[in-house]
Amino acid sequence: MKSASQSVEKWQGRAGAASTDYLEGAQKTDKDQAARAIAAKEIYKSELTASFGRDSYAKGLSKSGKAGWIKGVVEKGGQNYSTGVTTESARQKYVAESGKYDGARNASANMPKGVRGSAQNLNKVVAVANALHAVKVG
């Protein structure tokens, strides 16, 4: 029987070498992961509810704690963040998603501006907040 230490070495070595297989498998599959996930949404909700009932969320966070989070950021998060945000697809997604809010961000452009702290300025804030909310939930 292998020890946990031996097993993790084998797993890391084999899984690390399988990145090409992972990529090819995703590109060649005839399954639609998004459609399958949507079809299973009731199961997901049920499992989440059960998980909250067991307090798994808090237990999992407590297990890792801040030190575990920082360790993950240092070991992989920093490089993954940079890689993720500098791709062309990330740029395109940002422009598409953020662009939906362009009109809402300008909702108060034609409203008069008042002195600092005035009701006019608060009305401008409310107009923008309401417009942003309408886009988000609409």
Which of 125, 109, 106 is closest to 117 using CA atoms? 125
Mean pLDDT over 75-100 rounds to 92
What tokens appear for 31 in the block? Answer: 């399954």
Q: What is the pTM of this model?
A: 0.58
The reported pLDDT for the residue numbered 49 is 95
Q: Quick one: three-class SS letters along 103-123?
A: HHHCCCCCCCCCCCCCHHHHH
Residues 6+ apart with CB under 8 A from 114: 120, 121
- Summary mean pLDDT of the chain: 93
**What is the crossing angle of helices 56-72 and 41-53, to 10°?**
90
